[in-house]
Chain A
Amino acid sequence: MLRLGKNVIVFDGGFGSELERLGLEGIPEDLNMTSPEEIKGIHRSYSCADIITTNTFGLNRIKYHGAYELKDVAVRAVENARAAGKTVFFDVGPTGAMLEPIGTLSFEEAYEAFAEIADITKDIVDGYIAETFSDLYELKACVLALKEHSDKLVFATATFDSTCRTLTGSTPEIVANTLEGLGVDALGVNCSLGPKELLPIVERLVNSTNVPIIVQPNRGLPVLEGGKTVYKLGIDEFDEYTEKMLGLGVSVIGGCCGTTPEFIKRISRFSGTEVKRRAVEPKTVINSANVLVEIDGVKICGERLNPTGKKALKEALISENYDYLVDEALKQQEAGADLLDINVGLPQLDEKKVMPAVVKKVQEYCDLPLQIDSSDAEAIEAGVRLVNGIPLINSVNGDEEVMARVFPIAKKYGAVVLGLAMDKNGVPRTAEGRFEIAKRIISRAADFGIPRHKIMIDTLVVTASAEQALVKETLGALRLVKELGVKTALGVSNVSFGLPNRPLLNRTFLTMAMTCGLNMPILNPLDGEMTGAVKAFGVLSGEDENSEKFIEAYKDYSPAAPTAALTSQKKQEKSASSLYDCVVAGLKNKAEELCERELETKDPLSVVNDILIKALNEVGSLYESGKLFLPQLVSAAEAAKAAFAAVGRHMPKDAEPKGKVILATVKGDVHDIGKNIVKVVLESYGYRVIDLGKDVPPERVVEAYKEHKPIVIGLSALMTTTVKGMEETVAALRAENCTAKIFVGGAVLNAETAERIGADYYTRDALEMAKLLDELFPQNKG
């Protein structure tokens, strides 16, 4: 009996090349049904391996469109693989569809497809190998589905390119941390490269986790020879590299594209030999799909996505205006946050519904790892489940009930947990009291299988105005907790509540706390004083080697503007002195500022008519005469839009705005470049645009029509294949007796097509549409 992680285990090799050798064509999965003897023959030829994988790479309901029932193929494929008389792992490949946000497949749909496979096969296989995944999010869906729907071993491998990233940009460390967190039994890499090229990736994998590593390389890189692609790497070389990988501590070996039974026969000599021991030192690490953050030194957790005391954020959450949250997230990322806290706790909201929606939306645009912050365990799980990567959970405390609810979630999803040093009885007054609770949290976590490095402790800030004597207890507790070998966090700005000059107190306290071992201040990253203190601490503590980060941040520092170094104002410094010039030159920030100034002396309508409309006309005619181009047109539109926003703030509340326009890229179509340009140009003309996004089904357009009663609906499609979706949308709107004018546009559209599919107007670009709107709806002008 081979023991995973102790004895080397050998997987089988390439299947496609064997099918080709036998001249078997067609959908590979269907061959399980049509040519079972040949398939069994291939499996038998690999019986030198310890584990045989089924011929089911493309067998899931999203990808498989063969002639048989999915269940029948799956069962037969397992039977065929059993012919080799070895342990059988079910081969699970990706869905072949792109997940949201780049594609349209949802995480849940991918999960369901994989869950179905597990439901069918859980009692007839020995394990699963999820392989050749290039999207970490899809791999997470797959592993979760396999683990939740079966109790068999789950191995998972991703495919990387020669830059050591998956095709969605995840590094080996990110893949390892995520898969380890999800509790796979072995993780690694397969396909795309040969063993030589995989070596640097394998080196990084073995150094980032103690989970057994599996490697299944291709037979080198394919070469073109006499009009055919061939794999040329020899068996000796393949064997040699396999031995090198085993020397690094790899546990499971095998082959992928181009490898044949001869290759596997050779490397089967390693089967059962002792796996080289590895001892990777555990670290406190969280990650998104593209960013890995080790909580060490000082890392900034952005606190702005928490509605407590933030009116605009509250309103945005209640009205489901998640765009506002995305902007806040991106601002914090830009300002140097390392991770972002997400808290949606408002009495009028159902947290367990809102949390996953916000997580999805924020990670669509923002690269940073997330901290899921809630007191509701269900909301925590709903959020953590959808995180693409490994998040931090905020929080548990010393209360047994809370720990019993939250720790199982953290264990299942591999999350790091922030433990607050308090319990039912409140916050202990002494450092020692908090230290005791921290110990209890760490020990209880261990009972749930959560190691110490996955726990962080918040020693809790009290307000100096109310409990001055206790400030030092917080700091004392930090020092004590550090001795337990865990990382620490504090919501620092609470300290100054109720006192004047809060920034000074906050910054001073932050510095004191960092000196006592604070690893993760939770603060407002847009506050340059605070992030500046973190950067300065980096220099003085030696963490910022050669002061590189500090110098980079402050290289343009001048004493006159001590903290303004955060945002680049370069473009704004150009000399455009009037609002008119600013719009024409596309200077967004300055246009807004100058517009505000104009509005001090002029009424809003005359600012619009005498300046903004004229500037837009100038931009329009420059564009039409070829003196100004798309990027400048867009910049000018953005500047005008910013100015209009200022105008809007000065308009009387009951003023009639220009009409509403609904925009959508139709179902099936995921290109929204054109639609986005139309949006900003129409907004710059003062229209209120409701953007439904891309891949919008006809029903949603109809729904939005009924809800918003727009004057115009603009539909975009880029390709001939999606004009059909456009036609359906127009028909659906007509069936509802739509009174709004329907505009269509996009690369393959023209006036004839527009007429044929029943649209009212076709315009070739954004500007033409804006002008036509002004013509059609003169009463709305200005």
Chain B
Amino acid sequence: MNCSEIKPQIYNYLGFKGVAESPDTDELIVSCLGKLEKTAQFNSLYRAFENAPEFLKKPPYESFLAGTAGVILSVTTLGAGVDRLINRLYRTDMARAVVFDACASAYLEAKSDEFERTLGDNLTYRFCPGYGGSSVEDLKYIFEILKPEKIGVTLNESLFMLPAKTMAGVIGIGKKVKKTCEGCFMLPHCKYREEGKRCYASEKTL
């Protein structure tokens, strides 16, 4: 993966407010991404359906999936090694831990995008339970159907997916839809928007 592609997103996560980048942090990012490529074990699991599973037959999924020809449920993860390394860095080098954590998040996003491109061109973005007023409870259905423990991913009682660098999503087939802030549950107090930015890579921030 090209480091410069995800760097803006990493700076975004680190709270750089559109001011000059720092050479120190730049150096740290490059070294963290190098380590990340060695440590991360990207893995994915998906299943496609012509007819959407029952739990998607309610708002806001219904409107999100309107006009699609099918739906994909997916789980992507960087594996437990990344969590372990972040935990260790918190003990040995906090600044590196913070940067590494942000790099891992951006890396997971990018790897997941890359993986989705292998599934086809005509797809919506990943709609993750929790977006747009949907409930994170829906993760339970995704876990029941996909059984992501096969790729080492678990869901705890508080509906956290572990390893932490994991994403679960609902993707519509046969319709191109890009991500927007509309309906995001963080919208009322989004720290990115306060600064005129977005949490995802959009033309605005790049």
Contact = CB atoms under 8 A, between A and B. Distances in A.
Contact of A94 (B17, B87, B149): B149
Nearest to B189: A750
Contacts of B157: 668
B196 interface: no
Interface in B140-171: 143, 149-160, 162-164
Contact of A227 (B50, B101, B152, B162): B50
Contacts of B154: 96-98, 103
Interface in A388-410: none
Interface stretch (B1-9, B22-30, B57-65, B106-114): B22-30
B91 A631 contact: no
Contact of A673 (B80, B101, B163): B101
A630 B98 contact: yes
B88 A638 contact: no
B158 A722 contact: yes
Given A224-B120, A227-B48, A631 B98 contact: yes
A161 B19 contact: no
B181 interface: no
A169 B80 contact: yes
A720 interface: yes
Interface string A741-769: 00000011010000000000000100000
Contacts of B173: 227
A135 interface: yes
A134 B87 CA distance: 20
Interface residues of A, number: 64
Interface string A318-336: 0000010011001000000
B50 A631 contact: no
Contacts of B55: none
A224 B95 contact: no
Contacts of B49: 227-228
B85 to A, nearest CB: 10
A745 B96 CA distance: 22
A672 B86 CA distance: 10
Given A103-B156, A132-B150, A167-B151, A638 B84 contact: no
Given A637-B94, A668-B156, A673-B101, A103 B69 contact: no
* Residue among A627, A629, A672, A719 facing the most chain B CB atoms (10 A cut-off): A629
A248 interface: no
Contacts of B83: 102
Interface string A650-678: 00000000000000000011111100110
Contacts of B143: 96
A631 B81 contact: no
B149 A166 contact: no
Contacts of B101: 673
> What range describes how many residues of B lie at the interface?
35 or more
A635 interface: yes
B184 interface: no
B16 A227 contact: no
Given A134-B151, A227-B173, A228-B48, A721 B136 contact: yes
A166 B152 contact: yes
A632 B156 contact: no
Contacts of A161: 41, 43, 79, 151
A343 interface: no
Contacts of B155: 96
A630 B14 contact: yes
B127 interface: no
Contact of A101 (B19, B87, B174): B87
B99 interface: yes
B151 A192 contact: yes
A338 B46 CA distance: 39
Contacts of A631: 14, 22, 24-25, 28, 95, 98-99
Interface in B61-83: 69-70, 72, 77, 79-81, 83
A632 B19 CA distance: 14
A629 B15 contact: yes
20 contacts: A96-B143, A98-B154, A159-B150, A159-B151, A166-B152, A169-B81, A224-B119, A226-B50, A227-B48, A227-B174, A364-B87, A629-B14, A630-B15, A634-B94, A634-B97, A638-B94, A670-B164, A671-B164, A719-B159, A720-B136
Given A167-B79, A192-B151, A750-B189, 12 more contacts: A103-B154, A228-B49, A228-B50, A229-B48, A364-B87, A365-B91, A630-B14, A634-B94, A635-B94, A673-B97, A725-B158, A764-B191
